[in-house]
Amino acid sequence: MRTIEQALTDHELIVLRVIGEWWELDLTGQDKPACVQALAETLPRINLKQELQFLPPEEADALQALVGSGGRMAVGSFERTHGEVRLMGPGKLEREEPWFDPVSPAESLWYRGMIYRAFDEGVIELNEFYFLPIEFIGRFP
């Protein structure tokens, strides 16, 4: 598993700023390492039990699916049930602003900094998966 800091490092700067906005952090004017650090200090303090109660049911189900699978689920399996996260470069992110109109529960959680995506080396090939960071594991009801 990965920490929040490790997971955030993989995001584009604009996504870090969007996540910061959601949690009432002003990250404008800061560089990527400063944004990662600020979010890595803030996100572990989120009351996940409370957040889960106020999420739309589809988003809560997506988080519960990750919790139920030990905090990690293959991209294909997760996306079949909870939708995709459209991956974009910084220019397209600025133009389209997908966080204002997410196409799925997964994408909504992505732009809140609640779920992340990564690769791990499997026996034969690389496996891509969605995951909850270490700091979130065990903090959901």
Q: Would you say 48 and 67 are in contact if contact means Cβ atoms under 8 Å apart?
A: no
How sure is the predictor about 30, in pLDDT bands with cuts at 50, 70 and 90?
Answer: confident
Question: Mind listing the pLDDT tens digit for each residue in 19-29?
Answer: 999 999 999 88
> Higher-confidence residue: 16 or 127?
16
Tokens 């039990």 belong to residue: 49
What percent of the chain clears pLDDT 90, i.e. is strictly above it? 84
Check whether 61 has a pLDDT greater than 90. yes
Residue written as token pair 């196409």: 103
Torsions phi, psi for 116 (to 5 deg):
-140, 170
